[in-house]
Structure 1
Amino acid sequence: MFQEYLAGSADIFSGIGALTTGVIAFKIALGLFRFISAHFLSRALGLTANLQKAGSWAVVTGGTDGIGKAYAEQLAAKGINMVLISRSLSKLTDMARDVEEKYKVKTLVIEADFSQPDIYDNIRANIEKLDIGVLVNNVGMSYDFPEYFAEVEDPNFVSRLLHLNCTSVAKMTQIVLPIMLKKRQGYIINIGSSAGSSPTPFLTLYSACKAFVDTFTRALSIEYSGSGVNFQLVSPYFVVSKLSKMWKPSIFVPTPTTFVKGALATVGVQTTTNGFWSHSVQDWIMAVIPMSVITNGLLDNRRRALKKRANAKQNQ
């Protein structure tokens, strides 16, 4: 009797094991299919959103450098007029002139320092009557180098980082969303970060802000499901830019132009994306790396940055 019980139990556990293996295999296959579809087949299959149909204007914050500049250029290349918002009027003017000459679209520049909370009435007054189809919430800032939260020297760091990374996303969405809802179409693209996917020590406040962008975007996507307004969270790893302080492109560190070309192909396909195929690969790898390894790497970066700063002071 006992032997029969054991044999029956073995059959049950074998069945459970086979079912579990099948589920895991299915999830892996589904993940690979989604990865290939989003990053390599989306345009060919006609899955990518037609952003031109959403409206004649796009708004890009922080659109004079890095990822923001690449979004502005590639949206303008589609024939969409551009609203460029940043703190440097000279850069805005140069960017607007280049975009108008190269892509034959209209531009509107708005000088605004997103580290300040009192800029949004002026932005609203300038754009609320435009046919806005796309909003790219890109402006942001990070740490100069990995640092203990209590040892950040800039007394205004906390408020500046919160305003640039959180307030800007919420307030710009508050301004633009009613415009899109009224016509029942539009795309709001929020640039997050891989650092927002899980707590990142020594970049603590930046990580927390990008986690806010993540939650904010996902929740709005559900809240306004069926409204015609689409939300997308883009969580990149390193891209060649001043923000990342990485200047040499590679497979895992694309240029902003290359990155945004890949990211735009996922609009309408993925609500959350790493934007570029190699960043999705990195995301899978990072999911299995112990936090201790990540922490030690950040501490090494901190030590090198502090040593470099000390040497610079000595050479002054």
Structure 2
Amino acid sequence: MDSVELFFISLGAAVVVYYGVKLLLFSRMLFPKLWFPLSKTFFTSMGEWAVVTGASEGIGRAYTFALAEQGMSVVIMSRTKATLDQVAKEIGDKTGQRVKVIVTDFTKENVFSEIEDQLKDLNIGVLVNNVGILPSYIPCKFLESAELDQTITKVINCNVKTMVKMCKIILPGMENRGKGVIVNISSGVASIPFPLYTLYAASKVFVERFSQGLQAEYKDKGIIIQAVAPFGVSTRMASYQKTNIVTLSPEDFVKSSLQYLKAGDKTNGSVYHIIMGWLLQSMPLKVLYAESVLNNLQDYVKKIAAQKASLSASSATLQNGRNK
């Protein structure tokens, strides 16, 4: 056997081993309870309190209930006091856990010193950085965004700055105790450069890279830091689309995503979203970036928005008729 033949045999064997390992690692994602089990006391062993930003609805609200059901007291943060108070009551009634409400608007400047004061005496074991804003539900080009300067500031403050500042506030306590969990909510659209959602997708790329770098820095301290990048979840940001095999309810998504907490520094949070991420990254960008594809995406979202608006108007008319 000459050296050239030996080289190609070795190369072929290396390729088979490489893809075999990748297939094995992917197969683990199909059975998270088997490969990444969590004990019943896992969350309470991290600390007494969980802090969730953007907790008044959607994914944040679902994380709040899930962590309270695990026995944690929870701090819920958002900008609407009435909604937070209602969520706090529901959590207390359902789980019996303590709830602390902090009202704040993360799109604003200089809100973190007050937050730090309110959190300083708490033994915080879990932080979920969920709060985020979508510049426009209808996809559009960057320069076509309404009130662009204000939009840029709000997206950076809410999607980027808040996550970093909350980590700065809470991470030191976790480092001192040698344990803790930080979950930073990214988005599936950050898997690739995503036209028409450019600013939003880019802000979520920051979430992922920051989380992955931070995990590398603090993993040896006993702290889990993970970026969670969902695709379809039926929330206000997604215009409450009907749930199906791909579009999950916030509760189902959170239940699934927590099973992947030990699966690495990034997860899409569910089997179907993991598959979607793989498909999206495998797609040639020239196909996705074709003008016809982008136009169809824009038209589809506009159609969904119009249907929702029409349904809301019809419901309001019917309700008014009943009230007369």
Q: Residue deviations 1:65-86, cap 9 Å, x none?
A: 1111110000000110010000
Q: Say whether the 8 Å CA contact 2:50–2:124 is kept in structure 1.
A: yes
Q: 2:101 aligns with which of 84, 109, 114?
A: 109
Q: In the superposition, relative to structure 1, how do residues 310 and 226 fare at CA in structure 2: closer, same or farther (>3 Å)?
A: closer
Distance verdict in 2 for CA 1:26–1:113, change over 3 Å: same
Q: Which residue does the alignment assign to 2:185?
A: 191
In structure 2, the residue matched to 1:4 is: none
> Within 1, Cα distance between the matches of 2:266 and 2:304?
37
Query: Does 1:124 pair with 2:116?
Result: yes
Give the aligned CA root-mean-square deviation in angstroms: 2.4
Q: What residue in structure 1 maps to residue 196 of structure 2?
A: 202
In the alignment, which residue of structure 2 is the partner of 1:162?
156
Q: Report if the CA contact (8 A) 2:232-2:238 is conserved.
A: yes
Q: Tell me the SS of whatever aligns to 2:220.
A: coil
3-state SS of paired residue (2:215): helix
Contact preservation (8 Å) 2:38, 2:259? no
**Mapped contact 1:146–1:299 kept (Cα < 8 A):** no
SS at match of 1:287: helix
Cα distance in structure 2, aligned partners of 1:16 and 1:193 = 39
1:252 aligns with 2:246: yes
Whole-Å Cα distance in 1 between the matches of residues 127 and 250 of structure 2?
Answer: 18
SS of match in other structure, 1:243:
helix
Q: Which stretch of structure 1 is more off in the superposition, 293-302 or 263-272? A: 293-302
Length, aligned pairs only? 305
Give 1:310 deviation, angstroms: 9.8
Tell me the CA shift for residue 17 of structure 1.
Answer: 4.8
1:42/1:266 contact within 8 Å kept: no
Cα 1:250–1:308, aligned 2, differ >3 Å: closer, same or farther? closer
Q: Does 1:230 align with 2:224?
A: yes
Which of residues 130, 144, 152 is equivalent to 1:138?
A: 130
The CA deviation string for residues 160-198 of structure 1, in whole angstroms up to 9 with x for no partner, is 111110011001111111121121111010001112222
TM superposition shift of 1:275: 0.6
**Cα contact 2:28–2:35 (8 A) shared by 1:** no
Distance (Å, rounded) in 2 between the aligned partners of 1:47 and 1:279: 25
Instruction: Give the Cα separation in 1 of the matches to 2:140 and 2:245.
Output: 28
Are 1:169 and 1:190, in contact at CA under 8 Å, matched by a contact in 2? yes
Residues 226-258 of structure 1 show CA distances to partners (whole Å, capped at 9, x for unaligned) of: 112220110111111111224211111111111
**What is aligned with 2:72?**
80
- 1:67 corresponds in structure 2 to 59
**Matched residue type, 2:146:** E
Q: Is the Cα–Cα contact under 8 Å of residues 106 and 162 in structure 2 kept in the other structure?
A: yes
Calculate the TM-score normalised by the size of structure 2: 0.87
Deviates more, 1:92-101 or 1:194-203: 194-203
Query: TM-score, normalised on structure 1?
Result: 0.89
288 and 308 in structure 1: CA distance in 2 versus 1, 3 angstrom threshold: closer
State the partner residue of 2:90.
Answer: 98
The equivalent residue for 1:283 is 277
C-alpha separation in 2, matches of 1:24 and 1:134: 35
State the alpha-carbon separation in 2 of the partners of residues 99 and 87 from structure 1.
Answer: 18
How far apart, in 1, do the equivalents of 2:285 and 2:40 lie?
A: 35
CA contact 1:48–1:268 (8 Å) conserved in 2: no
Unaligned stretches of 5+ residues in structure 1: 1-6
Shift of 1:276: 0.8
Task: Work out whether residues 140 and 165 of structure 1, in 8 Å CA contact, stay in contact via their aligned partners in 2.
Answer: yes
CA distance in 1, matches of 2:42, 2:304: 47
Distance across 1 between alignment mates of 2:38 and 2:242: 33
State the shift of 1:222 in Å. Answer: 0.9
Tell me how far 1:122 sits from its aligned partner.
Answer: 1.1
- Structure having the higher helix fraction is 2
Q: Residue 321 of structure 2 aligns with which residue? A: none
Paired letter, 2:293: G
Are residues 28 and 119 of structure 1, via their aligned partners in 2, closer, same or farther at CA, if it must alter by over 3 Å?
same
Does 2:290 match 1:297? no
The one-letter code sitting in structure 2 at the alignment partner of 1:151 is E
Q: CA deviation at 1:308?
A: 8.4
Aligned pairs (5 A) from 1:12-27:
12=6, 14-27=8-21
Equivalent position amino acid for 2:140 in 1: E
Counterpart-to-counterpart distance in 2, 1:93 and 1:9: 73
- Alignment match, 1:148: 141
CA distance in 2 between counterparts of 1:308 and 1:22 reads: 45
Q: Percent identity?
A: 31
Q: CA deviation at 1:94?
A: 0.1
Q: Spell out structure 1 runs of 4+ moving beyond 4 A.
A: 45-49, 304-312
Per-residue Cα deviation, 1:114-165 (whole angstroms, up to 9, x for no partner): 1012111111111111010000000001132211101111241111111110
Distance 2:12 2:304 in 1: 55
